[in-house]
Amino acid sequence: MVIQIDLIAYKNMKMVIFPFDLRILLDEKFFNSCLVHEEEKKNEENSFCMDCCFSLCCHCVIHHKSHKILQIRRYMYNDVLRLKEAQKIFDCSQIQVS
């Protein structure tokens, strides 16, 4: 099960207060090349550190092992999270699944 990070719905919501780290996660651009590891293979930023609030490549993740990390995936041209991973960090009790 995956959760789509729906930026359009997020930006159209009114009178909703999001935690700081969630706002940054929703605004973050993923799957760009990591500026720190430009010369490395597989350097696309596809993870997000909830403790530091920035995206990471697979080479950066090793320095954040004790942090809460979410892996971002691509599904039908959308950035998504696995529900099981998101439940470890967020209250997902109000998310509908079919």
pLDDT of residue 38: 84
What's the confidence (pLDDT) of residue 18? 67
Residue 66 belongs to some domain of the structure: yes
Domain that holds residue 63: 2-87
> What is the tally of structural domains in the chain?
1
Whole-angstrom Cα distance, residue 5 to residue 93? 16
Has residue 29 been placed in a domain?
A: yes
Domain contains 21: yes
Residue 93 lies in a domain: no
94 domain residue, yes or no = no
The per-residue pLDDT for 12 is 54
**In-domain check, residue 96:** no
Asked whether residue 92 is domain-assigned, the answer is no
Cβ-based neighbours of 37, under 8 Å, separated by 6 or more: 43, 57, 59, 60
pLDDT of residue 66: 93
pLDDT along the chain (98 residues), means of 10: 47 60 86 90 92 92 92 89 87 75
Does residue 34 belong to any structural domain of this protein?
yes
Name residue 12's amino acid. N
